[in-house]
Structure 1
Amino acid sequence: AISRGILIFVAVVGAMEAPRVAIVGSGIGGSSASVYLRRKLGHSSKIDVYEKDGHTCGRLGLIRVAGNEYNSGGCVIHPRNMHMVNLTKLAGMHKDEDGDDGDLLYIWDQITKEWHLRQTGYQFVDIIMMLWRYGFAPLSLENTVEDMLSDFDNIYDLQRKGEAYETVEDLLRAMGGEKFVKMLTTPLGDYLIQQGISEPLLSDLAGAAMAVNYGQDIVDMHAFVGMVSLAGVQDGLFSIKEGNGHICGKLLDISDSNLKLNTEVLSIERKLDCPTGSRYIYEVKTKESTESYDALILATPLQLSGIKLIGFPEDTQMGKEGAYHRTVATFVESHGVNPVYFGGGFKFGNPPEVLATTPSDQFTSVSPQDPTSTPVGQTNDDEDLNVYKVFSKEPLDSVQIERLFGSEYGEVQVDDWLAYPSYKDFQTRNITKLSLDGGAAAYISPMEWAASAMEMSCIGAANAANLVSKALEIEIQGECQVEEETEETEETDETEETEE
């Protein structure tokens, strides 16, 4: 009996020394999770990454226009986003900090058809204009964002120490205490007014930031996602020079993961697979095969993937927090934005960045774009042609494009996708847990309901890696050893009976 118990224990520990982990989704969440997992589990473990599309990086899209490549998905990275900063370095990629230099910021009210702000490019004049319209409210807003970022930074030390959280609320609580948790159900407008932000700045800058970053109205945003968005208008922002959408493939190579492109996951079943009935395996089913794994990281929203979960603890909110918001990015090759559409205010050919105070079917933002450094084809020789990106809620027709850019525009390319969660009804929403079963199955995407951003996905990925590694350690050291102890007790009892 002792030998059978030892053999069982050795078999379990032997299997767990080189665990097999499935990651479903190869976006920034899944690819960064593969790096963090490799560090935790060592090189002997096997990491399979499932991707239903024929390319990695999901919503960090790239699009080709006139022989150049442009970021069509998530674009900017904050210099204090330590996961993205470090992963960019790890991937051997470079910061592009010059993308927005020289762009003049214009804020347009699509309802009244009036300019709320027009920068001139002359610093002194622009400062006077800001003071005249907003007073010192921009300074209060900057301080409010800085205070939040100081608390936000706490997560990095915690994750380095291996801390892991089973819910989004627990993770936010570790970051910034109950204040961060309450922000999930506090309207952004109310929160900013409490911080002393004036109504003009609230409707102009905050409204425009919500419109361009999430395509949604400020009244539909909770305070946490709103503050993350406002951090995205600070100085020092950068994108990846080679293209944000190229980082995921590099991270998967670095983690030595087995990438399964064009492989759609249909279902994931959780089954008992321990002699004591305490350890679970996860069977990942695709059209081609069914594979078993010791751990699972789900890095794609259940709302978008259609994956069926079988044998997991019941959670009525799992994948039902709400719908995802449609965003249309239209890239237009043009000599400039048409000032006639806006009733004047600038010269044709000047490259202003125009932000709308509220989203509409017309546009939420129009901005000149710089290409990535990745060569993709023959470029246009006309140096006067720029490429502009227009964000809108619905696809633009040729008439709308002509109104914005005049009749002599060139190539047009469109990226139409479900980009972010729809944050409306945030006051009554329950967010799915980051742990699918309290064991070795973790879920990254619920982080998006706190705030959808590259860094938030990476934080979710690091949390998932910590959850999984801790769960696997428990399975090695914990209840699966009970079989051995039980068998030793039985052998002792048998010996005592024989001696009697």
Structure 2
Amino acid sequence: MLSRVVFTSVTILLHLISAAADQSQSPLHDDPLRVPQSKTHRVAIIGAGPGGSSASFYLNQFSQSLDLDVDLDITVFDANPRIGGRTTTVNALDDPRYPTELGASIFVKVNHILYNATRDFGLAPSGKIYEATPESQYELGIWDGNQFVFKTASDDDDDDDTRSSWRGWWDIAKLLWKYGLSPIRTQRATKAAVGAFLQVYEEPLFPFRSLQEAVDRTALDAYTGVSGREVLQETHVSELFSREIIQASTRVNYASNLGGIHGLETLVCMAIEGAMAVDGGNWQIFDEMVKRSASRVLLNTTVTDVTQDPGKKSYRLQTNDPDLDAHFNADAYDTVILAAPYQFANISFTPPLVDPPSKIPYVSLYVTLLTSPHQLSPAYFGLQSQADVPSSILTTLPEYLNDELSSRRGVDAVGPPGFWSISTLRVLHPDIDGLSFSGPISSNSNSNSTNSGRRPTETDTESDTNSKTDSETQYLYKIFSPAPLTGTFVSWILGFPHAPTSKEDPVSTLPKEDITWLYEKHWHSYPYETPRRTFDNFTLHTMSSLMNGPEPEAEGENLFYLSSMESFISTMETSALSGMNVAKLIIDQLQLQQRQPQT
């Protein structure tokens, strides 16, 4: 339930306009019967992730709520063949019955934009985000590389509310018995931090031209300016609860220990009430936003240059496709929104930017999705029974390494566990799960599999190894790690023999009867949310705009940047909030210009 990392296929709505390139360019709202308003304001949005999609949607929403004498013409560009950015799904077993989140997995009840959009768009919530295996009596465990420091019981699927409630209360009792008042103090601190953050959605703070102003006025710098470890110490949360429970959450969500992540993001990780996802993929939220607002979306299209017209506040865009430029970009854009991290966008600005967004370090996250007939090995985790192995495993540091590794990054921070998390997403039965299936299912029942990893010993018994698994049963796993997994590691955790044939030992070399399907992805998933008190603005300035006066904002700024939000909080919701905020700034600016007398 704790995982909500930050990551689609999309139906192209109309037709290809250029047969020369394999590109998807879709006019969305080009209605020949629509009567144009007196003026057209052209907006280019570079990036169709949560921020860019939200900016498009709320530009349309806010403009419709006002009597503006302006017709918005919105073009959304993205280098990918899909909408959604880091929210994307792939089909496990190459079967469309099993769409699986590769990026951002869940959102929660306090994520007002996503929660409301899911409801308003009529998108179905997913029934289960994770699934406990029938054999395991534990849904979740926290592993420090040597032992499980905490486990939560699985809910039965027998509709026995009394039994389920009893297990829930037993987990709460275990928390309070072991950690005292720390869980309650954490809940209170989380509620206070989230309450301060929610002020930015409403007047008088919203919309905020400066993220710095919003942080200062809500006093959130008290959380962002110090590490999670320090915030928890100030609120009298015990070191034991911080390390064993909260650090497991910051590791699975942001690949960071408590010494290397700021206090606000730490507490956000604990705001898990109402966790949900969209059935079929969260990308559908952003796909709907673009469908309902943009005039056209140009996918597989990389914007390479943004050039400001001399003496004007309008911009010419150039992409990797000259034919597309001739068709769509012949006219200048009145407003440009960069909805992708500046350091990865590789866009040239002419004139150059004054004080461009600072380069910040991003997490290098490896996501491995795989299916296998094998369950997680009891022997690897030093357990005697399959029932004792949690279906999903978060990790933390052992006490003796916590101080040393707390502020480190990547492979230097992961410690003895070697991975951030392993989740059992689903138990698959392709033969009976509904539609016809043609995926690569093993016919090997593997009834006598033996462990070859580092934990099994000569005293292992039959209960230490995987029991016979019917060929129709497959377990879908999702593993977060700071480096690529090896075949040896996967064979260890799933308990089957493996003899590496190369030094690299990639997972892809494992036999199909053991790993029936594999998908590996390397993300620059989110920034390292290190403690900081200063943040970039939502506006970008060129040398030309700076020469117009000391405060170019006073005359209206037309170049905006969304990823300044990333170092503050990096989630689907806050990216969408950034887009909504900039959309309101633009519409308010247009309204102000409309009220000014024409000269």
Instruction: Tell me the TM-score normalized by structure 1.
Output: 0.83
Provide the residue aligned with 2:524 in structure 1: 418
Tell me how far apart the structure 1 counterparts of residues 214 and 142 of structure 2 sit (CA, whole Å): 35
**Structure with more of its chain in helix, by fraction:** 1
Contact 1:337 1:348 in 2 (8 A): no
Provide the residue aligned with 2:394 in structure 1: 355
Tell me the CA shift for residue 367 of structure 1: 0.8
Provide the residue aligned with 1:153 in structure 2: 198
Contact 2:427 2:474 in 1 (8 A): no
Comparing 379-388 with 239-248, greater Cα deviation is found at 379-388
Q: Does 1:282 align with 2:400?
A: no
Letter in 2 for 1:142: Q
Tell me the CA shift for residue 378 of structure 1: 4.3
Q: In structure 1, the residue corresponding to 2:71 is in which secondary structure? A: coil
Q: Does 1:397 align with 2:486?
A: yes
Q: In structure 2, the residue corresponding to 1:132 is in which secondary structure? A: helix
Tell me how far apart the structure 1 counterparts of residues 213 and 290 of structure 2 sit (CA, whole Å): 29
Q: Does 1:198 align with 2:238?
A: yes
Q: In structure 2, the residue corresponding to 1:337 is in which secondary structure? A: coil
Tell me the CA shift for residue 404 of structure 1: 1.4
Provide the residue aligned with 1:250 in structure 2: 288
Contact 1:295 1:440 in 2 (8 A): yes
Tell me the CA shift for residue 436 of structure 1: 1.6
Contact 2:51 2:339 in 1 (8 A): yes
Q: Does 1:37 align with 2:59?
A: yes
Q: Does 1:446 align with 2:564?
A: yes
Letter in 1 for 2:212: E
Tell me how far apart the structure 2 counterparts of residues 453 and 155 of structure 1 sit (CA, whole Å): 15
Q: Does 1:115 align with 2:115?
A: no
Instruction: Tell me the TM-score normalized by structure 2.
Output: 0.70
Tell me how far apart the structure 2 counterparts of residues 23 and 386 of structure 1 sit (CA, whole Å): 40
- Structure 2 matches for 1:173-322, cutoff 5 A? 173-174=216-217, 177-178=218-219, 180-231=220-271, 234-272=272-310, 280-287=313-320, 288=322, 289=325, 290-291=329-330, 292-311=332-351, 314-315=354-355, 318-322=356-360
Provide the residue aligned with 2:450 in structure 1: none
Letter in 2 for 1:88: T
Comparing 372-381 with 258-267, greater Cα deviation is found at 372-381
The C-alpha deviation readout for 1:13-66, integer Å capped at 9, x for no partner, is: x99832000000001111111110112234931100010111111111212221
Tell me the CA shift for residue 285 of structure 1: 1.7
Letter in 2 for 1:65: A
Q: Does 1:434 align with 2:538?
A: yes
Relative to 1, partners in 2 of residues 1:462 and 1:162: Cα closer, same or farther, differing over 3 Å?
farther
Tell me how far apart the structure 2 counterparts of residues 146 and 108 of structure 1 sit (CA, whole Å): 27
Relative to 1, partners in 2 of residues 1:94 and 1:332: Cα closer, same or farther, differing over 3 Å?
same
Comparing 91-100 with 65-74, greater Cα deviation is found at 91-100
Q: In structure 2, the residue corresponding to 1:342 is in which secondary structure? A: coil
Tell me the CA shift for residue 213 of structure 1: 0.3
Comparing 16-25 with 208-217, greater Cα deviation is found at 16-25
Provide the residue aligned with 1:137 in structure 2: 182
Tell me the CA shift for residue 401 of structure 1: 0.9
The C-alpha deviation readout for 1:463-489, integer Å capped at 9, x for no partner, is: 1101212233344444x83xx2xxxxx
Relative to 1, partners in 2 of residues 1:375 and 1:230: Cα closer, same or farther, differing over 3 Å?
farther
Provide the residue aligned with 1:329 in structure 2: 367
Q: In structure 2, the residue corresponding to 1:241 is in which secondary structure? A: coil
The C-alpha deviation readout for 1:237-288, integer Å capped at 9, x for no partner, is: 00111211233222211114310011101121233555xxxxx112222132
Q: In structure 2, the residue corresponding to 1:330 is in which secondary structure? A: strand
Contact 2:54 2:577 in 1 (8 A): no
Tell me how far apart the structure 1 counterparts of residues 233 and 197 of structure 2 sit (CA, whole Å): 21
Contact 1:106 1:119 in 2 (8 A): yes
Provide the residue aligned with 1:277 in structure 2: none
Q: In structure 2, the residue corresponding to 1:250 is in which secondary structure? A: helix
Q: Which runs of 5+ in 1 are unaligned?
A: 1-13, 275-279, 485-500
Q: In structure 2, the residue corresponding to 1:117 is in which secondary structure? A: strand
Tell me the CA shift for residue 164 of structure 1: 2.1
Letter in 1 for 2:142: I
**How many residue pairs get matched?**
450
Higher relative contact order (CA 8 A, sep 6+): 1
Tell me how far apart the structure 2 counterparts of residues 60 and 371 of structure 1 sit (CA, whole Å): 23
Contact 1:64 1:376 in 2 (8 A): no
Contact 2:368 2:478 in 1 (8 A): yes
Provide the residue aligned with 2:90 in structure 1: 63
Relative to 1, partners in 2 of residues 1:106 and 1:250: Cα closer, same or farther, differing over 3 Å?
same
Q: Does 1:73 align with 2:103?
A: yes
Tell me how far apart the structure 1 counterparts of residues 178 and 106 of structure 2 sit (CA, whole Å): 27
Contact 1:312 1:436 in 2 (8 A): no
Tell me the CA shift for residue 351 of structure 1: 5.2
Provide the residue aligned with 1:167 in structure 2: 210
Q: In structure 2, the residue corresponding to 1:95 is in which secondary structure? A: coil
Tell me how far apart the structure 1 counterparts of residues 288 and 386 of structure 2 sit (CA, whole Å): 42
Tell me the CA shift for residue 142 of structure 1: 1.1
Tell me the CA shift for residue 385 of structure 1: 1.7
Provide the residue aligned with 2:464 in structure 1: none
Letter in 1 for 2:475: N
Letter in 2 for 1:149: V
Comparing 358-367 with 237-246, greater Cα deviation is found at 358-367
Q: Which runs of 5+ in 2 are unaligned?
A: 1-35, 65-69, 133-137, 155-166, 398-412, 442-469, 497-513, 542-552
The C-alpha deviation readout for 1:342-380, integer Å capped at 9, x for no partner, is: 111651696521101155383100111149999996466
Contact 1:107 1:115 in 2 (8 A): yes
Q: In structure 1, the residue corresponding to 2:493 is in which secondary structure? A: helix
Tell me how far apart the structure 2 counterparts of residues 210 and 85 of structure 1 sit (CA, whole Å): 23
